[in-house]
A and B are shown apart, each in its own frame.
Chain A
Amino acid sequence: MNDDRTAPRFPLPSELTDVAGAEGWASMYPYYTRFQPGDDQRFWFYNAMHFPEPMPAFDAITAEAPYTAIGANTARMFVFPTTLGIEHRIVNGRVYITANPVTDPEEIQHRLAEFSERAGYYYENWDDLYQGWVARITALIDEVQRIEVPRLPEFEDPEVVFQAKGVAQNHYVRENYHRLIDLYSKMWHHHSEFLMLGYGAYVVFFEFCKTSFPEIPDQDVARMVAGIDVILYRPDDELKKLAKLAVEYGVDDLFVEGCEPDKVLAALAARGDGGRSWLEAMDAVREPWFNMSTGAGFYHHHRSWNDDLTVPFAALPGYVDQARRGELLDRPTEQLTAERERIAQEYRSLLAGEEEQAAFDQMLGLARVVFPFVEDHNFYCEHYFTTKFFAKVREFGELLHDHGVLADAEDVFQLNHTEVGQALTDVMLAWAAGSKPVGSAHVRETVAERKRMLEALAGWSPPPALGPVPEVLNDPAVRMLWGITAETIQAWSTPTADGDHEVRGFAASPGVVEGTARVLLSANDIGQVREGEVLVCPVTAPSWGPVFGKIAAAVSDIGGTMSHAAIVAREYGLPAVVGTGHATKRITTGQRLRVDGDRGIVTILD
């Protein structure tokens, strides 16, 4: 790599000013998320992959809980030798992060002894432990669903007296709310349980391939490892089955592009046996498979398919059409498995000798063992659990609404999680005292003010990074997940040579196509995507899977070659360019684009 380049210069945290009209933004978030004076000396990057929009106050918990867990896992539980945790800061509603390395050789050695023993135990027993993990996480999802939000009756149930329970309902308001928050935190611990070890095993194989085959495309490495039977594809597979059923039951004519889900549901209900059978079939798969967030699972307003059928119903017309034409909708898993094997064997045969082949076998074998977790944890954690979690928070919002604290139950997300606790205490006190909560005027004002600020913050273009660039930047997770390397940072800090017509990113999935841009800033607008368009978005989440059936290519602001957008695009055979930094800023809906997934270049043709 060239070291003679001029050091990129990003703004320092202290140089950022408040967005006009959102001067009080800091009041939304806990004090420990503010930039500190010493932070100017450190390198931060905008985590647009997980937090592409300004954070509503409550949603800041989706940064706090993960970083609490990931750091505990790497720094304290497994004692990774060279990595501590990730710190996060919020500015103008956006989440910036930095990874803390261990650099003292003596300390690394000291940690290594612990790490070898602990990580070794997990690698050695991976399959058993992973089976246990699935049981633990599903139990946790069960538990969160069983949490009751007390309704605070006029009089307690007589049983409370006759069974001498001795505790009134208002106590359970706080207990159950805290349990909800605690379970969310616990879920993130389990989310991290295997993750960094999984990435570690993958990165070792990845680096080996890059050393042996310096020009191997990242996606070829992924294709040798990626699972075929991945739970993350299951929701989409279920939709395809429903499309086939629509044809079988003779209700396929009701699925037309652009038609609202409510109208389709009403028409199905009015269509006699066929319609009824189809609706039953859909109901049978909604749990758990429609618990897919339209985002990456970090915002309350990225509703799940179950909350809003727009995403699945946007995909159904296309699938129904294919089913009607008799096209095979099932993923050809046997063929994919054979192809995966062929690719691996051919690369293996190109290695220089038996030594290398034996090492390749070890690394590939391990990468494949860890990969089911790396792929599937996303469904259990970010989608299934998180959907249930936000639904429960909404129920507490309803309680606050019922007691006059909130004008709308959904406003609960404008309070951060400690503030929600305070508002609930207000209700508990008022119920006990036979009075009204004192906070309603104050809380409603805060909610209105925050909604206004969020709107102002949405217009801000956050710099991709802040502070001085470190000399070494090689954190495997940062590289795999966010695609952030010395090269990315260099690209961010220098405007493209080809002026306004090119946007450069990672070549994530091969192929070259032209099409009309559809820029989507929020996953909730996914229903707008039309057949053959090029999807341009801040970050694509796995739940967007179905829409990949109708788009011609995908372009994202953020993401590395192992981001789920890249994996899904490859699966669907679509060109994709990810990690462009600012495609959504440079491109507008309706422009003609050429997406070159071989080279990672998007050309604006208009």
Chain B
Amino acid sequence: MNTSPHVRRFAELRLTDRPTVGGKGASLGELTFAGAPVPPGYVVTTTAFDAFLGALDPDGEIRTAIEALDSEDTEAITRVVTPVRERIEAAELPEEVAAAIRGHYRDLDSESDTPGEPAPVAVRSSATSEDAEDASFAGLQDTYLWVRGEDALVENVRRCWASLYSVESVSYRRRLGLPEHDLAMAVVVQRMIDPRCAGVMFTRSPLTGDRSVVALEASWGLGSALVSGDVTPDKYVVGKVTGDICSRTVSAKLRQHRMDPSGSGVLEEDVPEYLRDEPCLSDEEIHELVTLGRQVESHYGAPQDIEWAISRNLAPGHNIYLLQSRPETVWASREKAPTASPKARAFDHVLSLLGGAGSGPGGSTK
């Protein structure tokens, strides 16, 4: 049982926990609650950040100094934040914060599927802004992949926090006039899986908005190759109702992102020739993903945009993970008027169609 306020496991979280664990942490918690296979992990809460910064800057001098900066004055910002970042990256964590982070990491490590070496984790910032997910920090904070061992983890948590004090982050906050004293950041620590392939899944068609199909895109290695547009993915469309795979496009997948052979960091490389034109998903995997997608969709009650990955090391049936799910927004924002309304008699629909669409009694069906 977790007693520290500084760390919370995904399993304890729901969307409503966003103020202390950030958007990403809360959504991974909700997804875990929905019964989806999410790689295990926990969130270093805003409380931990507060405790850390409180110890580093008990009188709020740093924060006051930053609030006084002009967003246009890059030189002044650089002068102020450089030592701050150095201090953050070098500072000891308060004992109870460090203990909580390390203790939970050991739990994760003990569930490792590759015993003998420290479990690799991803360390990501998780913004707490309520109004627009990650908007206030969009793209400004780093993500660190394949982090191994307690010491490296603590160091990368500090790097995450420190990234709040990059020149770009600070000028961004100053431009918006955000108060420094309310500033908080949560950090997600999540077991890395080494994906054979990864991709995205929309529980409605991104092309037509059709809610009766699930569209999947997949490519070899990490999903970042696909999201960044580095590769043309395989595409599958699956009917929700029958489970039939209605269309299947296997593309030539030329690039992949994968774990660096050194065991840390990401390598971008060409896909070996023999794999390029091979489909990266089996029918079983497609069906399993679609089942998961529908489960998450029904948990949220709305079509979802989901990131997933399939482990290279685990056995079929236990190798699929969901990494993120958010409500689909593009089609949701343009739901159209009903395509048809009931008529006095069922055959009035036919009369109006055969009468020349739209010219029949009782108006148009289309």
Q: Which residues of A contact B (CB under 8 A)?
A: 80-83, 105, 108-109, 112, 115-116, 119-120, 123-124, 197, 200-201, 203-204, 207-208, 211-217, 220, 223, 342-343, 346-347, 350, 352-353, 355-356, 358-363, 365-366, 476, 507, 510, 596, 598-599
Assess A599 versus B247: contact at CB under 8 Å? Given A80-B354, A216-B210: yes
Q: Does B98 make an interface contact (CB < 8 A)?
A: no
A598 near B247: Cβ-Cβ < 8 Å: yes
Assess A81 versus B210: contact at CB under 8 Å? Given A119-B347, A124-B347, A343-B242: no
Known: A215-B213, A599-B248. 12 other contacts (CB 8 A): A115-B354, A116-B361, A200-B354, A213-B211, A215-B207, A215-B237, A216-B213, A217-B244, A223-B242, A342-B241, A359-B339, A362-B342
Name which of A208, A217, A342 has the most chain B CB atoms within 10 A of its CB. Answer: A217
What residues on B are CB-neighbors of A347 within 8 Å? 212, 241
What residues on A are CB-neighbors of B241 within 8 Å? 220, 342-343, 346-347, 350
A366 near B246: Cβ-Cβ < 8 Å: no
A81 near B354: Cβ-Cβ < 8 Å: yes
A352 near B246: Cβ-Cβ < 8 Å: no
Q: How far is the CB of B61 from chain A (nearest CB, A)?
A: 56
Assess A363 versus B346: contact at CB under 8 Å? Given A116-B361, A213-B211: yes
Per-position contact with A for B316-341: 1 when CB-CB < 8 Å, else 0?
Answer: 00000000000000000001001111
B210 near A213: Cβ-Cβ < 8 Å: yes
B347 near A366: Cβ-Cβ < 8 Å: yes
Nearest first, the 5 A-B pairs at minimum CB distance are A123-B347, A358-B342, A214-B208, A359-B340, A362-B346
What residues on A are CB-neighbors of B366 within 8 Å? 207, 211
Name which of B208, B239, B244, B354 has the most chain A CB atoms within 10 A of its CB. Answer: B354
Q: Does B78 make an interface contact (CB < 8 A)?
A: no
Assess A362 versus B343: contact at CB under 8 Å? Given A116-B361, A119-B350, A215-B246: yes
Docked Cα-Cα span, A207 to B350, in Å, equals 11
Q: How far is the CB of B342 from chain A (nearest CB, A)?
A: 4
Residue in A80, A359, A360, A510 whose beta carbon sits within 8 Å of that of B244 in the complex = A510
A356 near B349: Cβ-Cβ < 8 Å: no
Assess A359 versus B342: contact at CB under 8 Å? Given A119-B351, A204-B350, A216-B239: yes
Assess A204 versus B365: contact at CB under 8 Å? Given A115-B355, A355-B342, A598-B247: yes
Docked Cα-Cα span, A355 to B336, in Å, equals 13
A211 near B244: Cβ-Cβ < 8 Å: no
Name which of A197, A342, A346, A363 has the most chain B CB atoms within 10 A of its CB. Answer: A363
Docked Cα-Cα span, A201 to B352, in Å, equals 11
- Give residues 32-70 of B contacting A (CB, 8 Å): none
B246 near A510: Cβ-Cβ < 8 Å: yes
Residue in B205, B339, B346 whose beta carbon sits within 8 Å of that of A211 in the complex = B339
Q: Does B353 make an interface contact (CB < 8 A)?
A: yes
A81 near B355: Cβ-Cβ < 8 Å: yes
B349 nearest CB neighbor, chain A only: A204
B355 near A201: Cβ-Cβ < 8 Å: no
B347 near A350: Cβ-Cβ < 8 Å: no
Assess A352 versus B335: contact at CB under 8 Å? Given A200-B350, A347-B212: yes
B335 nearest CB neighbor, chain A only: A352
Assess A82 versus B354: contact at CB under 8 Å? Given A216-B239, A353-B338, A598-B245: yes
Q: List 29 A-B contacts (CB under 8 A).
A: A80-B354, A82-B354, A105-B356, A112-B355, A115-B355, A116-B351, A119-B350, A119-B354, A123-B346, A197-B350, A212-B339, A213-B210, A215-B207, A215-B212, A216-B239, A217-B242, A220-B241, A223-B242, A343-B241, A346-B241, A350-B212, A355-B338, A359-B343, A365-B346, A366-B349, A366-B350, A507-B246, A596-B248, A598-B248
Q: Does B359 make an interface contact (CB < 8 A)?
A: yes
A120 near B359: Cβ-Cβ < 8 Å: no
What residues on A are CB-neighbors of B212 within 8 Å? 213, 215-216, 347, 350
B215 nearest CB neighbor, chain A only: A215
Docked Cα-Cα span, A119 to B360, in Å, equals 13
What residues on B are CB-neighbors of A112 within 8 Å? 351, 355-356, 359-361
B211 nearest CB neighbor, chain A only: A350
Docked Cα-Cα span, A356 to B189, in Å, equals 45
A350 near B339: Cβ-Cβ < 8 Å: no
Q: Does B240 make an interface contact (CB < 8 A)?
A: yes
What residues on B are CB-neighbors of A105 within 8 Å? 356, 359
Docked Cα-Cα span, A340 to B167, in Å, equals 62
What residues on B are CB-neighbors of A598 within 8 Å? 244-248
Q: How far is the CB of A561 from chain B (nearest CB, A)?
A: 13
Name which of B241, B341, B360 has the most chain A CB atoms within 10 A of its CB. Answer: B241
Chain A binding surface, main DSSP class:
helix
B353 near A204: Cβ-Cβ < 8 Å: yes
What residues on A are CB-neighbors of B346 within 8 Å? 123, 362-363, 365-366
Per-position contact with A for B280-324: 1 when CB-CB < 8 Å, else 0?
Answer: 000000000000000000000000000000000000000000000
B359 near A108: Cβ-Cβ < 8 Å: yes
Residue in A204, A220, A359, A596 whose beta carbon sits within 8 Å of that of B242 in the complex = A220
What residues on B are CB-neighbors of A360 within 8 Å? 340
A74 nearest CB neighbor, chain B only: B354
What residues on A are CB-neighbors of B340 within 8 Å? 208, 211, 355-356, 359-360, 363
What residues on A are CB-neighbors of B209 within 8 Å? 214
Q: How far is the CB of B242 from chain A (nearest CB, A)?
A: 6
- Give residues 246-297 of B contacting A (CB, 8 Å): 246-248
What residues on B are CB-neighbors of A201 within 8 Å? 347, 350
Assess A215 versus B354: contact at CB under 8 Å? Given A112-B360, A363-B349, A510-B246: no
Q: How far is the CB of B239 from chain A (nearest CB, A)?
A: 6
Q: How far is the CB of B209 from chain A (nearest CB, A)?
A: 8
What residues on A are CB-neighbors of B355 within 8 Å? 81-82, 108, 112, 115-116
Residue in B342, B345, B353, B359 whose beta carbon sits within 8 Å of that of A109 in the complex = B359
A215 near B205: Cβ-Cβ < 8 Å: yes
What residues on A are CB-neighbors of B213 within 8 Å? 213, 215-216
Docked Cα-Cα span, A115 to B347, in Å, equals 12
Docked Cα-Cα span, A362 to B246, in Å, equals 27
Q: How far is the CB of B85 from chain A (nearest CB, A)?
A: 50
Q: How far is the CB of A312 from chain B (nearest CB, A)?
A: 32
What residues on B are CB-neighbors of A343 within 8 Å? 241-242
What residues on B are CB-neighbors of A119 within 8 Å? 347, 350-351, 354
Per-position contact with A for B117-129: 1 when CB-CB < 8 Å, else 0?
Answer: 0000000000000
Residue in B211, B239, B353, B354 whose beta carbon sits within 8 Å of that of A217 in the complex = B239
What residues on B are CB-neighbors of A215 within 8 Å? 205, 207-208, 210, 212-213, 237, 246
A211 nearest CB neighbor, chain B only: B339
Assess A220 versus B360: contact at CB under 8 Å? Given A119-B350, A212-B339, A355-B341: no
B342 nearest CB neighbor, chain A only: A358
Q: How far is the CB of B358 from chain A (nearest CB, A)?
A: 11
Q: How far is the CB of A296 from chain B (nearest CB, A)?
A: 26
Q: How far is the CB of B137 from chain A (nearest CB, A)?
A: 35
Residue in A356, A361, A476, A510 whose beta carbon sits within 8 Å of that of B338 in the complex = A356
Residue in A83, A358, A599 whose beta carbon sits within 8 Å of that of B341 in the complex = A358
Q: How far is the CB of A130 from chain B (nearest CB, A)?
A: 14
Q: How far is the CB of A108 from chain B (nearest CB, A)?
A: 5
A509 nearest CB neighbor, chain B only: B244
What residues on A are CB-neighbors of B244 within 8 Å? 217, 220, 510, 598
What residues on B are CB-neighbors of A366 within 8 Å? 346-347, 349-350
Docked Cα-Cα span, A598 to B246, in Å, equals 5
Q: How far is the CB of B273 from chain A (nearest CB, A)?
A: 21
Docked Cα-Cα span, A487 to B338, in Å, equals 27
Docked Cα-Cα span, A105 to B355, in Å, equals 10
B210 near A214: Cβ-Cβ < 8 Å: yes
Q: How far is the CB of B364 from chain A (nearest CB, A)?
A: 11
What residues on A are CB-neighbors of B359 within 8 Å? 81, 105, 108-109, 112
Q: How far is the CB of A346 from chain B (nearest CB, A)?
A: 4
